[in-house]
């Protein structure tokens, strides 16, 4: 297994990075760190895709002139162009999502004064408790 991993070392690095990113995204409690985790994960996926598109000894997928006015278009000259296209789309998606998440984080900080989503939750639950106490009081009033 180890020599196979060494053979696929770019992919191995990519999945280690994406695991780190995913864990950060899931379990960091600071939202900015969560968003950094998201970006690590996305970038790792691009590394994975770039590694998957590579073929030993081939050129970038931009047609080369063959010297007599034509173009070399044999499939054995260029690397796989599909992963490049997927990465381009992925980058745009990642930029959009990051900007949206940061905007929401800014709004959260404006309302709660914290970047920690659990702390915001705790402050919320105190307010919620007040509301529930009111509901309970109303309930007892009705029952009596």
Tell me how far, at minimum, the Cβ of 68 lies from another protein, in Å. 14
Minimum CB distance to another protein, residue 67 (Å) = 14
Contacts of another protein in 78-107 (CB under 8 A): 78, 80-86, 88-93, 95-97, 99-107
The residue assigned the tokens 């990519």 is 14
Taking the C-alpha atoms of residue 56 and residue 76, their distance in angstroms, rounded to an integer, is 10
Told to check if 30 binds another protein by CB under 8 A, we report no
Q: Which residues, other chains included, contact 124 with Cβ-Cβ below 8 Å and sequence gap of 6+?
A: 112
Among 30, 33, 36, 51, binds another protein (CB under 8 A): 51
What is the three-class DSSP state of 72?
strand
Asked whether position 54 contacts another protein by CB under 8 A, the answer is yes
Question: Which residue in the set 15, 33, 36, 116 belongs to the binding site for another protein (CB under 8 A)?
Answer: 15
What is residue 61's three-state secondary structure? coil
> What's the maximum distance between 2 C-alpha atoms anywhere in the chain?
98
């Amino acid at each position: 297994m180890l020599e196979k991993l060494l053979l696929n070392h770019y992919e191995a690095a990519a999945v280690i990075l994406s695991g780190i990113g995913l864990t950060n995204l899931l379990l960091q409690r600071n939202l900015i760190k969560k968003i950094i985790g998201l970006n690590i994960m996305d970038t790792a996926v691009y590394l994975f895709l770039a590694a998957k598109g590579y073929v030993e000894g081939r050129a970038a997928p931009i047609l080369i002139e063959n010297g007599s006015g034509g173009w070399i278009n044999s499939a054995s000259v260029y690397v796989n162009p599909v992963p490049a296209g997927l990465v381009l789309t992925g980058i745009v998606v990642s930029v959009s999502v990051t900007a949206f998440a940061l905007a929401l984080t800014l709004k959260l900080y404006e309302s709660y004064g914290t970047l920690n989503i659990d702390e915001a939750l705790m402050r919320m639950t105190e307010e919620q408790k007040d509301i529930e106490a009111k509901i309970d009081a109303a309930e007892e009033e009705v029952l009596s």
